[in-house]
Every structure is written in structure tokens, then in C-alpha cells.
A = this chain, B = another copy of it.
């Protein structure tokens, strides 16, 4: 048994006792989600909980919170949990389902839901911190606990770095993080190298000439223009991307017009483009620009405007750091429950920004949130389980949360002295 395994066994011995609290935290967070960069109450809850664990904190990047758990000399390791939720109307029917609302940047009021599982990230890291704080005898060094806002908008990691994260927290030798998703509960999947896709998001405004719905010939209809453009865009992935490469182009939002008998002056849609290969990314973005411009011309309309909403860089898992982390996890689990994924995740992450800012390696993994008793073959059933960002997304907290705590504790101990 390695020292890491022994230290982990010591720290995690207290987990059963905290199980109720872990679940209460999760349920509370789930019931009170907040939109990106507006995680005010979430930040306060994190500060209070870390304080009650004896971990000093500082605010960083607006609603970001950093806890610094010092425990004598030794290595510094950072672990990040993201804290924001999404503009989704929850449909899970859970007791603790969200009824919260929030305001989007454009002023729209929306329902809000922890539809990406960040509530499990926050609650499990808070309990992991408490366990490490209680088991100081088992390890030495410093754990930097980063509760990052605004992951969904690719704004939060950058905001924390820009707000002096690494001037104010000790410089770690690795930054770790995890993400819940479909898959057998607690099962860890990882990738070395490219672990998650690049993502570019645009807002496209197409212009026309408004007027009475009865006189289309005196107008230029921007809604028909948008419909043709969205239709046309499907051919980019279908016909312009090497079938052996991956790309996704999603139109996540359309909006235009207020009244059925008025042709509006403009209409808007947003695009989200995911790729792994820079050449594929450039081609897809160029083709989208070409089609958007040409469809406006086909309508005899003014040139559309394209505004970049966010740009997620590629997430690269360091080979050595990943090997070390996964070895520790596998050892702790007796050799099972950790496997390399065949393909990188189409999802995107701004996690990598944290380590890259100071040239420190990253390791980020995915952890299943489906009850293994229910889903014997999670891989097979993956298509039927509601995924992240679905209004039905509901990880099974019973089996999942303790294993997320465990993964966080073991991951950090793999780099701390023990």
C-alpha cells in the first residue's frame, strides 16, 4: 500500500459521517442555482462552509472563491470546481428541483437550473476540503481550492486569472478538476492530451427591411433569411468536414419579431461550434462566415453582424500529471473504475485557462453520475440517459457524490506529501 493510499484511507474514513451533510449541500445548491458570473449566494455558501472547515478564503474574479488550506511544508496542489448554472427550466420532477429565476445579459428573465451538475462539483469539493482539513496528520503541503464562476460562458477562469488568482494564491504544481456526466456512477474516464473540444460561440444578427405582414414585396424578410441560413449551415458538418474528424455546429437560440403580422427589421441566432483540430475549426468557421454572408446576399439584405460570445480553448491533459492522478485513483479503487476514454469529450471547458496562465500542468477527468444498479451497461444506455444541459439531467447523488469526494481527495493527495 502506497503512502498516498494510506493517507487517502485516513482522510476518507470520515466520509460516511459527512454523507448527510454532503447530500444536504448538494440539494441546497441544486435548489438555488445562479447564472454565470452572478453566483452571489453560492459564493457566500462556499465561504461559510470553508470557514466552518477552518479554511481561509478570498474572493477572486467577482463571484469566485479561493480557499487555501495550508498544512505545513510540501507541495501545492490546486483543485477547481465550477459554480454556475444554466438558463433551463428544470423538468426533473425532483423534490429539490429548482424554481429559481435569473436575468440574462440581454435583460431576459429566465428559469435557472443546475443542468450541468456543477452543484455536485461544489458540494463534493467542499466536503473533500473538510475531510483534508480534519485529517491534517495524514498529509502535508497546501491545497488550493478554487471555486470558479462562469464556466458556461468561458468567462470565469479568465476573470479569476485576470483578478490576480496566482498572485494571491500559492503557485501549485498541478491543477486538478472533475466533471460529472452520464456514465456508471463514480466511474472515472480520462484522456491524455486533448480532453475536451474547442468551442466558439457567435451571435449572428441578420437584417432585412420591416413592414406590414401583408406586403412582403415591400420588405426583406429577415426570418426567412435566418431559416434558410440555419438550413444551409447543416451542410457544413455534413459536407465540408472530413468524416474522420469531429465537428458540431449547434444553433442554440433564435429570436426575431414581436407580432405575427409585422415583418421585423432583423432576426438573431446564436451558433456554437465544437472542434478538436485547429484546421477543422478554421474551415468550419470560414464556411459559416461564407454562408451567412451569402444568404444575406441571396435575400438582397445588408451584411449580417457576427459577434463572438465566447471562445473555449482546447483542454490539454498533461501526460505525466494524468498518469500520476489516475494511478492513484486506480490504486485506491483496487484497480477498477478508472478507464481511458476512446475519444475526447465534445464538451468544452475553460478549466485549462487556470494552469496555462502560469505554465502549470492540468488534469481533468469525467466521472459518471448514473446509478450502476439501475444501469448495468451505462455505455450502452448512454443515449437514453438525459445528458448534461438537458432539463431532465439528474445525476444520482446517492452513489455519485461520495465517489466524487473520494476522487478529489485522492487526486490531491497524489501530489501532496503523505
Chain A residues with a Cβ under 8 A of chain B: 86-89, 91, 104, 108, 110, 115-116, 152, 197, 199, 201-203, 209-219, 221, 223-224, 226-232, 234-244, 246-265, 267, 269-272, 274, 287, 290-291, 293-295, 297-298, 300, 309-310, 342-343, 345-348, 382-383, 386-391
Q: Are B248 and A389 in contact (CB under 8 A)?
A: no
Q: Are B309 and A298 in contact (CB under 8 A)?
A: no
Compute how far the CA of A234 lies from the CA of B241 in the bound complex, rounded to whole angstroms: 12
- Pairs across A and B, CB under 8 Å, 11 listed: A87-B258, A87-B262, A212-B346, A217-B241, A217-B243, A218-B383, A231-B231, A234-B235, A243-B248, A253-B264, A254-B256
Determine the chain B residues whose CB is within 8 A of the CB of A270 once the complex forms.
257, 259-260
Determine the chain B residues whose CB is within 8 A of the CB of A88 once the complex forms.
210, 258, 262
- A257 contact from B218, B231, B253, Cβ within 8 A: B253
Q: Are B259 and A263 in contact (CB under 8 A)?
A: no
Determine the chain B residues whose CB is within 8 A of the CB of A390 once the complex forms.
209-212, 218-219
Q: Are A216 and B250 in contact (CB under 8 A)?
A: yes
Q: Are B391 and A274 in contact (CB under 8 A)?
A: no
Determine the chain B residues whose CB is within 8 A of the CB of A210 once the complex forms.
88, 389-391
Q: Are B243 and A214 in contact (CB under 8 A)?
A: yes
Q: What's the nearest-Cβ distance from chain B to residue A127, in Å?
A: 26
Main secondary structure of the interface of A (DSSP, over half): mixed
Known A258-B110, A270-B260, A297-B294: A216·B238 in contact at CB below 8 Å: yes
Q: How many copies does the complex hold?
A: 4
Determine the chain B residues whose CB is within 8 A of the CB of A239 once the complex forms.
216-217, 219, 221, 224, 234
Q: Are A212 and B267 in contact (CB under 8 A)?
A: no
Determine the chain B residues whose CB is within 8 A of the CB of A218 once the complex forms.
382-383, 387, 390
Closest B residue, CB atoms, query A196: B214
Q: What's the nearest-Cβ distance from chain B to residue A338, in Å?
A: 20
Q: Are A217 and B242 in contact (CB under 8 A)?
A: yes
Q: What's the nearest-Cβ distance from chain B to residue A110, in Å?
A: 5
Determine the chain B residues whose CB is within 8 A of the CB of A228 once the complex forms.
227-228, 231-232, 235
Compute how far the CA of A263 lies from the CA of B197 in the bound complex, rounded to whole angstroms: 17
Q: Are B240 and A237 in contact (CB under 8 A)?
A: no
Q: Are A274 and B389 in contact (CB under 8 A)?
A: no
Determine the chain B residues whose CB is within 8 A of the CB of A234 once the complex forms.
224, 231, 234-235, 238-239
Q: Are A389 and B262 in contact (CB under 8 A)?
A: yes
- A211 contact from B260, B262, B345, B386, Cβ within 8 A: B386
- A250 contact from B227, B230, B260, B346, Cβ within 8 A: B260
Compute how far the CA of A116 lies from the CA of B115 in the bound complex, rounded to whole angstroms: 44
Shortest beta-carbon contacts, A-B, top 3: A214-B346, A294-B298, A253-B257
Determine the chain B residues whose CB is within 8 A of the CB of A203 once the complex forms.
260
Compute how far the CA of A246 lies from the CA of B245 in the bound complex, rounded to whole angstroms: 8
Known A210-B88, A291-B298: A240·B223 in contact at CB below 8 Å: no
Q: What's the nearest-Cβ distance from chain B to residue A218, in Å?
A: 5
Compute how far the CA of A247 lies from the CA of B224 in the bound complex, rounded to whole angstroms: 17
Known A223-B230, A272-B213: A389·B263 in contact at CB below 8 Å: yes
Closest B residue, CB atoms, query A182: B218
17 extra A-B contacts, CB within 8 A, seeds A238-B238, A252-B260, A263-B389:
A86-B259, A87-B262, A89-B265, A91-B265, A104-B258, A209-B390, A212-B387, A213-B252, A216-B240, A216-B248, A217-B383, A219-B390, A223-B269, A227-B230, A231-B231, A243-B346, A295-B298
